[in-house]
Structure 1
Amino acid sequence: LPEDGGVGSLNFSPITRQQFDDQGMLLVSGYTTTRGATIKYVLAGCDAPEPHHITGCYATCTNGVLTEKGTFDADRLVQSRGEAESAGGFNLVSESVVDLGFPADVYVTKNHAYVVSIQLKSYMPAGGLTVFDVSDRSHPVLKKVISLPGDGYWNAAWAKDDVLYVATRASGVILFDISNPGDPTYIRSVPSGAPLDVHTLFVEGNRLYAMALRPAQTLIFDITSPRDPVLLNRVVFTSEEFVTSYPHDAFAYEGRLYINHTDIGFLVTDPTDPLQVQELGKYHYNRQYSHASAVGTFAGRTIAFEGSEQEGAHLRVLDVTDPANIQLIGEHRLRPTTSIHNMILKGTKLYVAWYQEGVRVFDVANPTLPKEIAYFNAYRETDPKRLGFVYEGVMGMRVPGDGYVYAVDTSRGLLIF
């Protein structure tokens, strides 16, 4: 809702009725799908228990028939808890605008930052790849911008040697030659065959894991020759209860592949034999949407930090030493309307990309009690390209060990700390 009283939006659709009075708030919006179905959203705000917080009821109708209803909690996502912009010496060194689409992830190698962007809706700007020379972290230099017609959703990046791998919605994994790091050149896309929506990537040694949404599968490639990935297997985990679940992300550690399989849960697998990947255990909780994770060893125990997405999401700490008997040993929560997109574990520090909560840094030397030691509040609702929905803010992040932290904010672009 614009501060000037102009027409707002609801679920990306213009609001067609907007009413505010002593009875409360009423918002109505809708759209017609490509198949001709008429969708209508109705939001009735009934109470404001505190500033920037509204509660009420909502309903969704399809072709005039009620299809969903319930209650809601809505927050104006301003800087919360009386925090400053930053704390713990976590200071912004530079900020670089990314013009392509909706910035989502970054990979840093060869003194260059490779930022990938997504196209949220078909009528919004397409994403692609934006390359910065970050030799001088205080003054990154834009080197190249790449996009492909018909494939505007590039969500993740990783590299090995002179090859950059990019996860895309229509082309699977695209390979770029970065032997000249400021001038990536297209090599090809993998796997061959039908279009594949690859969402995230993880490289460990000579293995590339690619997590695909449609069709839902985890692809395992041998990248002994980085320019010539060999597809070893397409691994599928299914559930009769959660038929639309897909692998959102994964983390490889000490012979295990930990898969954030959204609704199915957090899976521990053994990929030693890529042709027969075994599920060793699973952690699941009510309304789970397992989204990101990082795994390490603490006092001889294997500990996983798991972040979920969507409402009520937060950080969970799991003892996965025995995958068949995973134990919850710690938690950390911020606001219930914000959620986690990504995380990086470096020694006993956990860096979390927490959407509108910005970058959060935790001391996890005692993993049962994550202690927040630093943060940067990147989200400002007045920034250009803010859309007023829960999945914006800081999304991607890298901590390559060069003394800097690199993060991507969906509006502000590349942030270096």
Structure 2
Amino acid sequence: MSTLAGVVLAISSVVAAPAASADIPGKDEIVKSPNISHLANIPKEGPFANVNALNSDWAFQGKYAFGGNYEGFTIYDISKPATPKVVTQVHCPGAQNDVSISGNLLFLSTDRSMSDDSCQAVPMPATEKAAWEGIKIFDISDVRNPRYVKAVETKCGSHTNTLVPGKKGTAYIYVSSYSPSDTFPDCKPPHDLISIVKVPLKNPTAAAVISEPVLFPNGGNPGDPAGTPWPNGTSATSGCHDLTAYPAKNLMAGACMGDGVLFDISNPEKPTTITSVRDDENFAFWHSATFNNKANKIVFTDELGGGGAATCNTTIGPEKGANAIYDIVGKGAKRKLEFRSYYKIPRPNADTENCVAHNGSLIPVKGKDIMVQAWYQGGISIYDFTDSSKPKEIGWFDRGTFADTLVTGGSWSAYYYNGYIYSNDIQKGLDVLQIKDKATDKGARVKLDELNAQSQPDYFDQD
């Protein structure tokens, strides 16, 4: 663990938006819509600077941003968004190190089989019974010196984690994981479940798995057979990739490989399925989900190619590797999901750019549904889906290809927090953006003390 000085790069001049594939920006060239300002960039540092040390997800609290990386996590001071600074880097390897925050605690997902639960562990085959994967808990009351306080092992590790507030000083961590194997002692099929970790916030050393609810008692989507020609084929459901809770509405949206699901979490220890949908024609891998603020729509993402392929091109087209927007219709246990449209960024990308729909969050504008979203090397897109049948882009930011060959890069997560967009670029580090547009300006008035994008707040306390 070390405290490092932040270095803010000067931002080069930008060029006009590319009009056609011939105008795809050059290597590292920045292009953007006129309503976007690129305020700052802090490159990856120290052990995180390696090309294999991928930046991942975000959580926010007060004046701090917490950025995951396959080698650990970084805490940034964002009190002055145009001049952010690195406060602390915690070196604790264990892909993919997604983060969530609750009070003085940070929860870190380890989805790599390691020799033990320490931050000095090394990779170990999942076929070994002694291998460890799961949730690590840090005390961040002193942001300059986070303290590792607890580890909780979970089946198949923790690819992502979702924080669901409980009562009387309790939080629940919903752990998503997948890809079981008969050869893995702690991750055998069928893996149709999630793990729920109960955390007493004032006594985190007592955190433990309290249940492993089976969400797909009928096995979920069986998927297409191996060998289905690219880019066709839907993943079999063997767990969930990502869960987005909306605690104020007692709802949760699940992106579960071959299924998109709406859950009731009124009893956070016993989530129940309300309804589910499939799209075997165009969705390969249900990856993540975002509610609109009224909780009558869900944007699901399809991570075609696992985030490592070039899918933003005319060969793949506009309906694969895209978002699917669904309306939630009906009431109570009779609610259903009805498909309305796809949304995919309209700009072509080079064949050396991994590009597909990825993590984003709402921009809180009352009466509107506006989202900012990461698209890996496709950059960042801001779009309005108030009319769920006709989503439209209103702003964007992009860099040219990271390398001359296809290397995993680009924006992993782009979230809106207290008036600014924070992007965790896999290779380039922290980017801070600001959008100034009549469609989004009111969003800057909404201030939060804490944001976990997978635990959505009700921005306007709507009934």
- CA deviation vs aligned residue, 1:164-193 (integer Å, no higher than 9, x gap): 2111112x1112222331233222222x5x
Residue pair 1:131, 1:142 contacting (<8 A) in 2 also: no
- Match of residue 259, structure 1, among 167, 175, 180: 175
Residue pair 1:407, 1:415 contacting (<8 A) in 2 also: yes
Q: Residue 82 of structure 2 corresponds to which residue in structure 1?
A: 182
- CA deviation vs aligned residue, 1:274-317 (integer Å, no higher than 9, x gap): 22223234225434131111223688xx43321123xxx12022
Q: Residue 335 of structure 1 corresponds to which residue in structure 2?
A: 280
Q: Residue 166 of structure 1 corresponds to which residue in structure 2?
A: 67
CA distance in 1, matches of 2:136, 2:204: 10
TM-score normalized by structure 1?
A: 0.56
- Match of residue 101, structure 2, among 190, 203, 210: 203
Residue pair 1:220, 1:232 contacting (<8 A) in 2 also: yes
Q: Residue 111 of structure 2 corresponds to which residue in structure 1?
A: 213
What one-letter code is carried by the residue in structure 1 that aligns with 2:364?
G
Q: Residue 158 of structure 2 corresponds to which residue in structure 1?
A: 247
Q: Alignment identity in percent? A: 13
Larger RCO (alpha carbons 8 Å, 6+ apart): 2
Q: Residue 41 of structure 2 corresponds to which residue in structure 1?
A: 144
Deviation at 1:411, TM superposition (A): 3.4
TM-score normalized by structure 2?
A: 0.51
- Match of residue 301, structure 2, among 350, 353, 364: 353
- Match of residue 199, structure 2, among 271, 274, 289: 271
The number of residue pairs the alignment matches comes to 273
1:17-56 alignment runs, 5 A limit: none
CA distance in 2, matches of 1:140, 1:195: 33
Q: 1:220 to 1:358 in 2, by over 3 A?
A: same
Q: 1:362 and 2:326 equivalent? A: yes
CA distance in 1, matches of 2:60, 2:269: 33
Deviation at 1:323, TM superposition (A): 6.3
Residue pair 2:323, 2:343 contacting (<8 A) in 1 also: yes
What one-letter code is carried by the residue in structure 2 that aligns with 1:360?
A
Q: Specify the structure having the higher radius of gyration (Cα).
A: 1
Deviation at 1:154, TM superposition (A): 0.7
What one-letter code is carried by the residue in structure 2 that aligns with 1:182?
A
CA distance in 2, matches of 1:186, 1:324: 37
What one-letter code is carried by the residue in structure 2 that aligns with 1:338?
A
Q: 1:410 and 2:341 equivalent? A: no
Residue pair 1:384, 1:411 contacting (<8 A) in 2 also: no
Q: Flag the structure with higher strand content.
A: 1
- Structure 1 residue runs of 5 or longer lacking an equivalent are 1-94, 98-124, 239-244
What CA RMSD, in Å, does the superposition of the two structures yield over aligned residues?
Answer: 3.6
- CA deviation vs aligned residue, 1:42-93 (integer Å, no higher than 9, x gap): xxxxxxxxxxxxxxxxxxxxxxxxxxxxxxxxxxxxxxxxxxxxxxxxxxxx
Q: 1:371 and 2:338 equivalent? A: yes
What one-letter code is carried by the residue in structure 2 that aligns with 1:186?
V
What one-letter code is carried by the residue in structure 2 that aligns with 1:294?
T
- CA deviation vs aligned residue, 1:230-265 (integer Å, no higher than 9, x gap): 333111123xxxxxx221112112322211122443
CA distance in 1, matches of 2:373, 2:275: 26
Residue pair 2:88, 2:143 contacting (<8 A) in 1 also: no
CA distance in 2, matches of 1:185, 1:254: 30
- Match of residue 306, structure 1, among 254, 270, 286: 254
- CA deviation vs aligned residue, 1:110-161 (integer Å, no higher than 9, x gap): xxxxxxxxxxxxxxx99xxx999x9x98223253251333254111122222
